Structure 1
Amino acid sequence: MFKMHLFLVLCLSVLISGCSPMPAEITLNSKAHSAENAGLIVGALIEGGPYGTWIEFRDVNTAKTYGWGAKNYYSAWLPAGVYEVSRLGSRSGVMAAYTKPLRINVKQGYINYLGEMAYDCPLLAQPEALYGVMSCGLLALGSCSVPPPSVGICIVDRQEQTIRRFLKRHPEYAQMNVHSSVLSAR
């Protein structure tokens, strides 16, 4: 009985964390990060769902992760460096890269444009990356795999209109230069 109760509590906490807000350390009004020690990322999720989609960036050098439930257009501060999209959340479950993960290079002191991620991109459109629902098994002990890909991710580059929209809402960042860091698996 206790094990079932513990299992239900664990499942509930995973569901709640999937709808997590952006961590305070990377929000636009962060006290920890600014143009002096980080880069501002700006991007969008197309068809991310009514409640948004969990997105997690992992620093390739330090393995530190930054994740939140992003919805539509998003912006956040990330320390300069190379990042991978290590996890994406969906109604199907948590997804990881099937082949090469999407990557970005964040430049300190710049607005780093990431592009717009489109889910369910057909294979004929040549998706930038393939992601699949992770299979962790009951006794996986920290190791998970992505057996088949379940979604193609296309990246649409609408830098001019997205940055214009962002600066209209946040004119305090108009003095920052823009760095094109469109998500790519290459």
Structure 2
Amino acid sequence: MLGKGRFIALGLLLSLAGCAQLPEEMTLTSKTYSAQNAGLVVGALVSDGPYGTWLQFSDINTGKTYGWGAKDYYSVWLPAGDYQVSELGARRGVMGPFAAPLRFRVQNGVINYVGELVYGCPRYPAPAAYYGVKNCGLLALATCTVPNADVGMCVVDRQPQALKRFLRANPAYANMPINPALMK
């Protein structure tokens, strides 16, 4: 019976670890990033459906990744550069881009509005990108591939509403310029 209890405890621990918090360096109160050396990225992942809320951006030039369990609207500091959505989801497995990933550009010292990601948008209008569950091979030792497109992702532009909501909650950023950096 002790073995079964440890197994259950391990399962609970792993499920809690899957709820990744926003890394401290990306928070609005970050000691690492600010308007002097990064851009403020504002967006949303509102409709998680059966896929989950894991969201990971990767810097296209350096390969550095920034991931967390996004829920609803988010605001994070990221260094200036070109980024892509490299991973999504988690409930049905972590998903990667099936073809071209969603991309956006971050500028220092400005609010970069990237849009609202919506899972499972219809074919018309066409989704901005397709993502699928990653297949990493036996014991995840091989390079991961995305053999199928499991979901279409749309990017909805709700900049006025999203920024009004963000600035109402964070008035200290009201004087920052705004850069529409919608994911494409």
Assess same fold via TM > 0.5: yes
Please say if residues 118 and 155 of structure 2, whose CA atoms lie closer than 8 Å, have aligned partners that are also in contact: yes
Measured in 1, the distance between the counterparts of 2:13 and 2:59 equals 25
Distance 1:130 1:118 in 2: 11
2:58 and 2:65 in contact (8 A); partners too = yes
- The alpha carbon displacement at 1:177 in A equals 0.4
Residue in 1 that maps onto 2:118: 118
- 1: CA distance, partners of 2:120 / 2:53: 14
Amino acid at match of 1:177: P
Q: Which residue of 2 aligns with 1:5?
A: none
SS in structure 1 opposite 2:43? strand
Show CA shifts across 1:29-54 (max 9, x none).
00000000000000011212599600
Tell me if the contact between 1:118 and 1:155 (Cα under 8 Å) persists in the aligned partners.
Answer: yes
Distance 1:31 1:113 in 2: 22
RMSD value, Cα: 2.3
Q: Is the 8 A contact 1:18 1:89 kept in 2?
A: no
SS in structure 2 at match of 1:93: coil
Aligned residues of 1:80 and 1:107 also touching (Cα < 8 A): yes
Structure 2 SS opposite 1:123: coil
CA distance in 2, matches of 1:101, 1:14: 28
Name the stretch that deviates more: 138-147 or 19-28.
Answer: 138-147
Number of equivalenced pairs: 178
Q: Secondary structure at the match of 2:124?
A: helix
- 1:25 paired with 2:15, answer no
Partner of 2:4: none
SS at match of 2:29: coil
Q: Which moved more, 1:71-80 or 1:123-132?
A: 123-132
- SS in structure 1 of the partner of residue 175 of structure 2: coil
Q: Distance in 2 between matches of 1:76 and 1:14?
A: 25
1:91 deviates by 1.8
The 3-state SS of whatever aligns with 1:25 is: helix
Structure 1 unaligned blocks of 5 or more: 1-7
Q: How far 1:18 sits from its partner (Å)?
A: 2.7
* Farther-moved stretch of structure 1 (31-40 vs 86-95): 86-95
Letter in structure 2 aligned against 1:20: A
The 5 Å alignment of 1:82-97 reads: 82-97=82-97
- Within a 5 Å distance, the mapping from 1:149-164 to structure 2 comes to 149-164=149-164
Moved more, 24-33 or 88-97: 88-97
Q: What SS is found at the alignment partner of 2:44? A: strand
Match of 1:103 in 2: 103
> SS of the residue aligned with 2:138?
coil
How big is the shift at 1:16? 4.0
Question: 1:123: how far off?
Answer: 1.6
Correspondence for 1:64: 64
Alpha-carbon distance in 1 for matches of 2:139, 2:152: 29
What does 1:24-63 align with in structure 2 at a 5 Å threshold?
24-48=24-48, 53-63=53-63
2:50–2:91 CA contact under 8 A, matched in 1 = no
Provide TM-score, normalisation by structure 2.
0.89
| Seq. identity, % | 55
CA distance in 2, matches of 1:119, 1:51: 8
- Note if 1:146 corresponds to 2:164: no
